[in-house]
Amino acid sequence: MKTIGLIGGMSWESSALYYRIINQEVGRKLGGLHSADILMRSFDFAPIEEMQSQGNWDEAGALLAEAARQLEEAGADMIGLCTNTMHLVASQIETAISVPFIHIARPTAARLREDGFACVGLLGTQFTMEMGFYADILRAEGLDPIVPDIDITNLNAIIYEELCRGIIRDQSRQTYIAAIERLAQRGAEAVILGCTEIGMLIDDAMSPIPTYDTTELHAKALVDLALA
């Protein structure tokens, strides 16, 4: 088994999901008392959120790239970044390491293609939905992503003010369901939960169209590589 290096803490709520899913998946695949070989660098999210708000992406990228380098030096055979938004600085991380960096959008796109979907809704932070870095990867992978055509500030606030703090509210769930319904009306065949916390709020049982949880798909992709 290879060692999985995780860059987490953005937020710790979703990083905890990564830890659980990865270990459950290793146990399912190997049986017995097997669990994953993991190294994690978990950040204090508050300073990074401030960098996001101020547009200091180069500074944030340098911080995460150094974390990836340290994980590789400590013995990680691959790196996973436990957040969608900070994949905006993925190129800085990739250039800092010699081990594989598993981009969160790629296993998600692969599963959507396998399931026969093309036009997909993309939900996430305002950065993920508006800045194009994520949608560009999806297009390169053969998908046609669309983002909400409504005011997305409320969707963004639910992530930062509630989900990142472990707060789950039915009213917020209904807000996301309404956004998904609108995406479906515009042609989305499925929806990407493109923030690692959104899966805490929404799943297939609540959504009018299939949901693809990036946290779960990314974590399982890391396990696949670790056990390959």
Query: CA geometry: angle at 199 spanning 196 and 203, to 5°?
Result: 155
Under 8 Å between Cβ of 209 and 225: no
* CATH code for the domain in which residue 8 is found: 3.40.50.1860
Q: pLDDT at position 88, please?
A: 97
**Torsion sign, CA atoms 170, 172, 177, 181:** positive
Domain count, the chain: 2
Q: Do 28 and 79 reside in the same domain of the chain?
A: yes
State whether 112 and 191 are in the same domain. Answer: yes
Q: Mean pLDDT in the chain?
A: 97
Whether residue 195 lies in the annotated active site: yes
Which of 82, 125, 128, 195 is an active site residue?
A: 195
Catalytic-labelled residue, pool 82, 83, 196, 215? 83
Give residue-wise pLDDT tens across range 20-57.
Answer: 999 999 999 999 999 999 999 999 999 999 999 999 99
Q: In the annotation, is 82 catalytic?
A: no
Domain that holds residue 157: 105-213
pLDDT for residue 41: 98
